[in-house]
Amino acid sequence: MIALEFIRQSMSSDSGAPAGCAMPQELQLSGLPSIRLGINIDHVATLRNARGGRHPDPVHAAEVAIAAGADSITAHLREDRRHIRDDDIERLMERLSKPLNLEMAATREMIDIAVATRPHAACLVPEKREERTTEGGLDVVEHKKELADAVGELTAAGIRVSLFIASDEHQIEAAAAIGAPAIEIHTGAWCDAVTAGEGAPGAVEFARIAAGAEYARRLGLEVHAGHGLDYLTAETIAALPQVVELNIGHFLIGDALTIGLGGAVERMLAAMRRGRAMAKAIA
């Protein structure tokens, strides 16, 4: 019930949410679309690379996650190859029984790799060499032309493209304008506020995510979400019916150290199912 109460507080009139962030009407519907779980295996590769060799193997971790119920696997092939490597992508394509979502910067090198590899999906993300993890969303407004070219080339290769962006009306509009079929909303600021126990900022951030998800859906975009999600925040955001996919990595790989990756994936799926069910109870 914690997630349900958080949603109610986040969307209440005195939560401090921006104008236009009222509870979407769809939250009151009983018929909800299903929600998928994508598992990011980057940090299995991080652990492997810390010592060298082939153990732990991110491809084997992907297979374990799929066996536990994951709907897809996400892997970020970064320019500096700090975790996932080219041969990991090749082996994932050979062995996976579920779709591969390739996270990538919209660079010439990465576009060529994606076109040659043909993963099911590609999520375009910003990338800075000095960052520990992806720190923010793409600025689609500022880089509209080059992102439009990347979306067009990847789409022509049969790859479904999503753009990793903040829940901002202008960015969402730009994503729709360049022909991206999907967006992934950056949930990091909201998750950080929840973790820190910052109720008011968390309410504002959640209201922004909810409003952006509804706006994107009205523009015809498929809506995904990810970054910083744990069991509680995944349960909460799963109550937004516009969101049809969550991509989660670091938290689950960390929890896998104590309960195993299969157990962590199963626990996450249970949290997401609870969140979907809660949507029916929101007045």
Would you state the structure tokens that stand for residue 219, as one six-digit string? 């523009």
Catalytic residue among 43, 63, 76, 224: 76
Give 127's pLDDT tier (boundaries 50, 70, 90): confident
Q: Is the dihedral of CA 158, 90, 92, 165 positive or negative?
A: negative
Name residue 247's beta-bridge partners: 38, 226
Look at residue 136 and tell me whether its pLDDT is greater than 80. no
pLDDT of residue 282: 60
> Average pLDDT, stretch 261-283?
88
Kindly report the average pLDDT of the chain as a whole number. 89
Give 55's pLDDT tier (boundaries 50, 70, 90): very high
Would you state the structure tokens that stand for residue 183, as one six-digit string? 């967006």
83 catalytically annotated: no
pLDDT of residue 7: 57
pLDDT of residue 232: 96
Share of the chain above pLDDT 90, in %: 81
Fold of 2-12+32-279: TIM Barrel (3.20.20)
Length, in residues, of the chain: 283
Dist CA 112 CA 46 (whole Å): 24
Give the pLDDT confidence of 156-211 residue by residue, as tens digits: 999 999 999 999 999 999 999 999 999 999 999 999 999 999 889 899 999 999 99
Give 28's pLDDT tier (boundaries 50, 70, 90): very low
Give the pLDDT confidence of 57-92 residue by residue, as tens digits: 999 999 999 999 999 999 999 999 999 999 999 999
pLDDT of residue 11: 47
pLDDT of residue 261: 98
Give 97's pLDDT tier (boundaries 50, 70, 90): very high
Catalytic residue among 43, 224, 227, 245: 227
CB atoms within 10 A of CB 137: 22
Range of lowest pLDDT (46-55, 125-134, 207-216): 125-134
Give 34's pLDDT tier (boundaries 50, 70, 90): confident
170 catalytically annotated: no
CB atoms within 10 A of CB 104: 25
Look at residue 37 and tell me whether its pLDDT is greater than 70. yes
**211 touches 18 (CB < 8 A):** yes
Three-state DSSP at 127 gives coil
250 catalytically annotated: no
pLDDT of residue 17: 43
Look at residue 267 and tell me whether its pLDDT is greater than 80. yes
One-letter amino acid for residue 255 of the chain? D
> Average pLDDT, stretch 267-277?
95
CA-wise closest residue to 206 among 237, 242, 171, 184: 237
Cα distances (angstroms) measured from residue 126 to each of 106, 216, 272: 8, 20, 27
Give the pLDDT confidence of 218-241 residue by residue, as tens digits: 999 999 999 999 999 999 999 999
Catalytic residue among 43, 63, 83, 103: 103
Dist CA 70 CA 62 (whole Å): 9
Cα-to-chain-centroid distance, residue 112: 23
Look at residue 15 and tell me whether its pLDDT is greater than 80. no
Dist CA 25 CA 210 (whole Å): 11
Look at residue 18 and tell me whether its pLDDT is greater than 50. no
Would you state the structure tokens that stand for residue 19, as one six-digit string? 């104008």
Cα distances (angstroms) measured from residue 175 to each of 137, 149, 253: 12, 12, 30
Name residue 182's beta-bridge partners: 162, 222
Q: Say what the pTM is.
A: 0.88
